[in-house]
């Protein structure tokens, strides 16, 4: 008898892959939050793929969010639960990067064939 186990969502931070069970909730949070403001911040709990080590990651300040080739403004199209749920279903990769004066969250999606 084989048991199907759904893979945990993951997230890449500066090129390192982490398990992130709450990824979909995180995406919903950042898309509903004022990520363009200087006082924007979040802290997430992650787990390394290689062992059970817990890692906390925090970003503070204005954050650029890019979904595929689109840079989101504060008036972006992902402003409803239905649109965010549809996006979460298509996500292939989430990457977080910090630069000197800029935080970047890049989301790439996959096309789902019917």
Q: Classify residue 101: in a domain, yes or no.
A: yes
pTM: 0.82
pLDDT at 54: 83
* C-alpha–C-alpha distance, residues 50 and 16, integer Å: 11
Q: Per residue of the chain (114 residues), what is the pLDDT tens digit?
A: 444 445 678 889 888 888 888 899 999 999 999 999 999 999 998 877 667 778 888 999 999 999 998 999 999 999 899 999 999 999 999 999 998 888 999 999 976 554
The pLDDT value recorded for residue 84 is: 94
Residue 33 counted as domain residue:
no
74 located within any domain: yes
Q: What is the pLDDT of residue 70?
A: 93
Neighbour order of strands in the sheet with 41-48: 54-60, 41-48, 16-19, 10-13, 91-98, 103-109, 63-67, 70-71
Q: Which domain holds residue 53?
A: 10-23+48-109
| Residue 37 counted as domain residue | no
Total count of domains within the chain: 1
């Amino acid at each position: 008898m084989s048991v199907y186990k759904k893979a945990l969502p993951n997230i890449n931070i500066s090129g390192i892959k982490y398990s992130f069970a709450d990824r979909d909730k995180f995406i919903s949070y950042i898309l509903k939050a004022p990520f363009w403001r200087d006082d924007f911040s979040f802290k997430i709990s992650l787990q390394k793929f290689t062992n059970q080590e817990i890692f906390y990651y925090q970003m503070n300040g204005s954050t650029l969010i890019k979904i595929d080739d689109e840079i989101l403004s504060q008036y972006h199209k992902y402003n409803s639960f239905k649109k965010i749920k549809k996006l979460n279903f298509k996500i292939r990769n989430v990457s977080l990067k910090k630069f000197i004066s800029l935080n970047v969250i890049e989301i790439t999606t996959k096309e789902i064939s019917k």
